[in-house]
Amino acid sequence: MEIMNTEEQRTEQKPVFKQTSFQISKSAKKKCVWKGLKQIVSSEKALPWPETVVHYSAINAPPSFKPPEKFSDLSGLPAPYTDPQTRLRFANKDEYATIIDLPMDITAGYLALRGATSIVG
């Protein structure tokens, strides 16, 4: 009996994000046109914004007070460690073992991808 009750509860529960009241009317003579992201952004740029308002399309946004997150150069995972010799970031000891064995040209390539200065200078 308990198994049937849980199965009934699972079928009765509806996801919260779905709205049963949302319907696209097929009887409307005018076809429903959805706006794309570029259309929405261009229409919002045309609106008269005050100078003090900060929004996502403004260039003059204030600087962030949070420090930037650091990610591993090899895996892309959050990297709390940096190799002092090559200045490559790594997340765990396995990546560090890989970094030690890398030749200098590959290390320079990883630093160039990250936008860091070269390890020579």
For the chain, domain boundaries: 68-121
Q: Rounded to whole angstroms, how far apart are CA atoms 71 and 95?
A: 12
Residue-wise pLDDT tens digits, 93-118: 999 999 999 999 999 999 999 888 65
Give residue for tokens 């996801």.
15
pLDDT band at 121, cuts 50/70/90? very low
Percent of the chain whose predicted confidence (pLDDT) is above 70: 64
| 89 dihedral zone (left: phi>0; alpha: psi -120 to 50; beta) | beta
More confident of the two residues 37 and 79? 79
Cβ contacts of 62 within 8 Å, gap of 6 or more: 54
pLDDT score, position 104: 92
3-state secondary structure of 111: helix
pLDDT at 69: 93
* Per-residue confidence (pLDDT) for residue 48, from 0 to 100: 86
Residue 74 tokens read as 């090899």
User: Helix (H, G, I), strand (E, B), or coil: what is residue 71?
Assistant: strand
pTM, rounded to two decimals:
0.48
pLDDT tens for each residue of 46-90: 888 887 777 666 666 677 889 989 999 999 999 999 999 999 999
pLDDT band for 9, please (50, 70, 90 cuts).
low
At residue 43, φ and ψ (nearest 5 deg) are -70, -30
